[in-house]
Structure 1
Amino acid sequence: MDTKLLSANAIVPQYNRNTLIPRMVHLGFGAFHRAHQAVYADILAQEHGSDWGYCEINLIGGEQQIADLKQQDNLYSVAEMSADAWQCRVVGVVKQALHAQVDGLDEIFRALTRPEVAIVSITITEKGYCHSPATGQLQLEHPLIIQDLADPLRPQSAVGVIVAALAKRRTAGLPAFSVMSCDNMPENGHVTRNVITAYAKALDPQLAAWIESQVTFPSTMVDRIVPAVTPGTLAQIAQQTGVQDSAAVACEPFRQWVIEDNFVAGRPAWEKAGAELVSDVLPFEEMKLRMLNGSHSFLAYLGYLAGYQHISDCMQDEHYVNAARHLMLAEQAPTLNTPGTNLEKYADSLLERYRNTALKHRTWQIAMDGTQKLPQRMLDSVRWHLAHSSDFACLALGIAGWMRYVGGKDEQRQPIDISDPLREEIAQRVANSAEGEPRVLALLQMTSVFGRDLPDNPRFVNAVTSAYLALLARGPKPRWLACWLVEPAFSGCGGLDQPMRVDLSARFQRIIC
């Protein structure tokens, strides 16, 4: 990329890229990492003289992303987009870009066993951990894990690659690195530790003991809305910057990163770029997962079924806005432990971000991989409400929306392209169940998603079944929500009063009738 051709308002690297050291290796060079973690590193290099650089690696898929980056001297642009302003930054902190199937595993391991590597970070989406979302434990029967345990020197999964790299470092007498998850999961560091150590124990108990004593797995909370890149996005960015950039990415101006300060071999001074370094990330993770990601999924399933292509389209419907706000404040907020945080203000700020018409964040994209997302975005909150005998009508409706979505047909009977690692199991359960209550009961038997407790809870089953039947009877456009949606009461300090306690089945039955 020739940065001299960029428009005058673009931020370009003013630092000497030759002085950067690839102390961080990142697995999963997707749009989110490009617009989030790499931007923090670029700000540190640009404004604070940091020499922390990245080696970027894709293991499965994304060959073109790596090829595009190499062709551009490892430079790419990030466009922060709002309805009334654009700002473009050219990120220059990438020192090397590799793909396992193009460059080979030997080259991947050479990168991971450099003595200077201090952090291996990952954005591989929830399904990349080869774990059960309901339990957080490694699935030893997962096809990739079975393959990697049979041939541990030529692994394919991120779990297998990280363990093999740590084994090589141990054999060579090199220090361990920290493994930092940046994916949307509660206690993502604990999940990463669980799957890494479980895999290592199945392979070599002594290696597992070394990993447990030498490696840290800091948890993080990441927040920035980054839609999937489309040809239209790239054309818009080229029009704004004056440069064709195949590796470019667009995002909202907002960004947040909360990091557990627990690193064995040092870290960048991320706090200088606006990150928060804390001892406990969990309250931040749960707040974001349940209020932002939970409402996103709620809008994605119902909005897609209603014919809305983008989240900003849903925000043009006041009924969706009211429903999403109710979900966040009446049903998600009471489950959180965030002292000092005004959750009403947080919810309103999320809705304002959703209204950003410059971002074409597709409902289909957010609806992907629902089996991996539902447990932390909705089901953990449902369990809280069941324990407290409180109202979870919107959560039940969101779960029912997922069930209608994975049925494979929208309201116009057009096919839906279901993208999910459990797609085959979902399709089988849909094909072998009649529409209505049998469909709900069949999908609830997916224990890797719902566990065994929820399908055995009559209140939960009745609530989801009633919501599903209401969707069948009235459709996904939630104008009928007004007959049962009750705004919560707020105290002056931003807290919430006790939510109303109602019979959800009776409520939905009234809607159907």
Structure 2
Amino acid sequence: MTPSAILHIGPGAFHRAHQAVYAAALIDAGHPEARIREVCLFPPRIGHSLDVQKGAYHVLFRDAAGQELRRITSIGEVLDKPHEDFLSDPALRLVTMTLTEKGYCHLPGTRKLDPSAIASDLEDPLQPRTGIGWLALGLARRQKAGLPGLTLASCDNIPANGRLLQAVLSEFVDQAWPALASWMARNVSFPVSMVDRIVPRVDDEASETISQLAGERDMLGVAAEPFGQWVLENDFALPIPPLDKVGVQIVEDVRPYELMKHRILNGAQTAIAHLGALSGFETSCQAANDPVMGSWLARFCAAQARTLTCPPGENLDAYVRTTLERLRNPHIRHSLVQIGTDSSFKMGQRIVEAAVHHVDGPEAELYALTIAAWLQYNTGRNADGAVIPVSDPLADRFRMIVANADGNARALVEGFMELDLFEGRLRHHRDFKERLVTLYSMLERQSPRDLMMATETSKPEEER
């Protein structure tokens, strides 16, 4: 087998529909070193399934225009349980990872290590249980073997993900592996990356379609939209396979691209998750295709774009149009409850910072409704009293705020606005907070869609 220059930690559905697809294109372009070695830190373990399928699986790309099934063979080996030398291959140059936001063991909203999340690894660094602990052990073994450094590239949907990874891993190493710290500082790089492709859970219909088109059952098949983007900071400890040959954008500063995605696409997803769920929709495409909510979403995305500086080579108006088309894709039935998970991690950059930009302008109403819906959603009940499954690191805090408010809308808004993510201008903006109280009170009796429709019909005809 050709030595692998790339190792990936966490070969879930997104990775199989994104990084592994880019690697497959690079292998087809004559770079066999792009074959990926995979490491599963946690279930599901995919090694046996991939062996049964002889190293292949399928990605079903589809949108309103059609569909394409692609056979992917870029995963060369899967370690269903890592060993301490998993980073000690001399051919290895690039380590990518999809650990999910919780996998970085950080205090929410900071780049500081969460002592409770990393406690077992600090107690016994030789028997790690987290991704951060495994990376530290693997790097310590690589240092001991006299091998050169590595590039560790987070591919999680977190702002400045490389900076977060560097901060938490450095803090952990300082405590658990002090002899590794200076070597890591000199030899390991942590480029920021921005990855983008909507990859919903494979439902029964998608699974059956993949099996029919492939002519066999595929235990690892995934469905995804055709759109894909990967922007990677030009900061590499060693030369990596030439991913730029297959569409990866290697740039000096990822921030403008990252902010464009977080604000427009992810901001729209986060907004519609709560607005849509409270309005009775189950998926993002249902909500985006609704004429009332779709019209509101178009205005919201345009407002989000007006908070940005356009990245080199991009067009914000075109990006907004593409985003709306992606959200309306009838084959991407992305659960709103799933999108709404861990939203306290996401609201700051996606919604709150943009709301500050617009707080004194005509678009303030868009943001007040978005945030009021987020508050209502996180009370755990909709206007009809039905239970909403709140899955968030701050869920206990939310319950405490609701209990302390005891049915008083103003007290509830004040309680939520004390959360760290609202620190700054919104917390102290009297008019905006008053609007939140009014809208939250209205959402206790009616859905966001009802409010959108009432607002639209109240406008003069020339403004509609």
Specify if TM > 0.5: yes
Q: Is the 8 A contact 1:127 1:421 kept in 2?
A: no
Query: Cα offset for 1:288?
Result: 0.4
105, 117, 131: which one aligns with 2:92: 117
Whether 1:266 aligns to 2:266 is: no
**How far apart are the structure 1 equivalents of 2:228 and 2:100?**
19
In structure 2, the partner of 1:374 is 347
After TM superposition, the structure 1 = structure 2 runs for residues 57-456 of structure 1, keeping only pairs within 5 Å, are 57-63=39-45, 65-99=46-80, 103=81, 107-135=82-110, 137-141=111-115, 143-338=116-311, 341-385=314-358, 391-435=363-407, 436-447=409-420, 449-451=421-423, 455-456=427-428
**How far apart are the structure 1 equivalents of 2:399 and 2:127?**
32
Change (3 A) 1:438 1:59: farther
**How far apart are the structure 2 equivalents of 1:24 and 1:382?**
40
**How far apart are the structure 1 equivalents of 2:181 and 2:113?**
17
Q: Aligned letter for 1:364?
A: V
Q: Is the 8 A contact 2:101 2:158 kept in 1?
A: yes
**How far apart are the structure 1 equivalents of 2:88 and 2:396?**
38
**How far apart are the structure 2 equivalents of 1:351 and 1:228?**
20
Change (3 A) 1:483 1:109: farther
Query: Cα offset for 1:460?
Result: 5.2
Q: Is the 8 A contact 2:150 2:189 kept in 1?
A: yes
Query: Cα offset for 1:263?
Result: 1.1
SS of equivalent residue, structure 2 residue 205: helix
Q: Is the 8 A contact 1:74 1:97 kept in 2?
A: no
Change (3 A) 1:217 1:287: same
SS of equivalent residue, structure 2 residue 189: coil
The Cα offsets for residues 127-174 of structure 1, whole Å up to 9 and x where unpaired, read as 222223433x12333x22122111111122212211221122122222
Q: Aligned letter for 2:387?
A: P
**How far apart are the structure 2 equivalents of 1:220 and 1:40?**
14
Q: Aligned letter for 1:60?
A: F
Q: Aligned letter for 1:27?
A: I
Per mean C-alpha deviation after superposition, the further-off stretch among 248-257 and 40-49 is 40-49
Change (3 A) 1:464 1:189: farther
**How far apart are the structure 2 equivalents of 1:84 and 1:340?**
25
**How far apart are the structure 2 equivalents of 1:70 and 1:196?**
33
Q: What percentage of aligned pairs have identical amino acids? A: 33
Change (3 A) 1:221 1:479: same
Q: Aligned letter for 2:170?
A: T
Q: Aligned letter for 1:111?
A: F
Q: Aligned letter for 1:471?
A: L
Query: Cα offset for 1:416?
Result: 2.3
Query: Cα offset for 1:451?
Result: 4.4
**How far apart are the structure 2 equivalents of 1:313 and 1:176?**
47
Change (3 A) 1:483 1:145: farther
Q: Aligned letter for 1:420?
A: D
Q: Kindly report the root-mean-square deviation, in angstroms, between the aligned alpha carbons of the 2 structures.
A: 2.6
In structure 2, the partner of 1:15 is none
Per mean C-alpha deviation after superposition, the further-off stretch among 52-61 and 459-468 is 459-468
Change (3 A) 1:44 1:331: closer
Query: Cα offset for 1:260?
Result: 0.9
Per mean C-alpha deviation after superposition, the further-off stretch among 375-384 and 165-174 is 375-384
After TM superposition, the structure 1 = structure 2 runs for residues 483-494 of structure 1, keeping only pairs within 5 Å, are none
- How many residues align? The count is 459
Q: Aligned letter for 2:17?
A: A
The Cα offsets for residues 312-371 of structure 1, whole Å up to 9 and x where unpaired, read as 111222221222122221244324353664322211111111111122122122111112
432, 444, 448: which one aligns with 1:472: 444
SS of equivalent residue, structure 2 residue 391: coil
Change (3 A) 1:455 1:484: farther
The Cα offsets for residues 257-315 of structure 1, whole Å up to 9 and x where unpaired, read as 11112111221211111111111110000000000000011111111111111111112
Q: Aligned letter for 1:52?
A: A
Provide the TM-score with structure 1 as the length reference: 0.83
Query: Cα offset for 1:40?
Result: 0.1
**How far apart are the structure 2 equivalents of 1:271 and 1:35?**
18
Q: Is the 8 A contact 2:86 2:138 kept in 1?
A: no
Q: Is the 8 A contact 2:38 2:77 kept in 1?
A: yes
Q: Is the 8 A contact 1:133 1:375 kept in 2?
A: no
**How far apart are the structure 2 equivalents of 1:188 and 1:399?**
25
Whether 1:55 aligns to 2:37 is: yes
SS of equivalent residue, structure 1 residue 110: coil
**How far apart are the structure 1 equivalents of 2:24 and 2:208?**
24
Change (3 A) 1:462 1:199: farther
The Cα offsets for residues 90-139 of structure 1, whole Å up to 9 and x where unpaired, read as 2111122223xxx3xxx43332222222111111222222223433x123
SS of equivalent residue, structure 2 residue 99: coil
SS of equivalent residue, structure 1 residue 334: coil
**How far apart are the structure 2 equivalents of 1:430 and 1:139?**
29
**How far apart are the structure 2 equivalents of 1:372 and 1:129?**
12
Query: Cα offset for 1:249?
Result: 0.3
Q: Aligned letter for 1:410?
A: N
Change (3 A) 1:149 1:450: farther
Q: Is the 8 A contact 1:310 1:360 kept in 2?
A: yes
Query: Cα offset for 1:458?
Result: 4.1
**How far apart are the structure 1 equivalents of 2:197 and 2:275?**
22
Q: Is the 8 A contact 1:326 1:485 kept in 2?
A: no
**How far apart are the structure 2 equivalents of 1:371 and 1:305?**
17
The Cα offsets for residues 169-228 of structure 1, whole Å up to 9 and x where unpaired, read as 122222221110111122221122121112222334442232222111111111111112
Change (3 A) 1:419 1:283: same
Q: Aligned letter for 2:447?
A: G
**How far apart are the structure 1 equivalents of 2:128 and 2:275?**
39
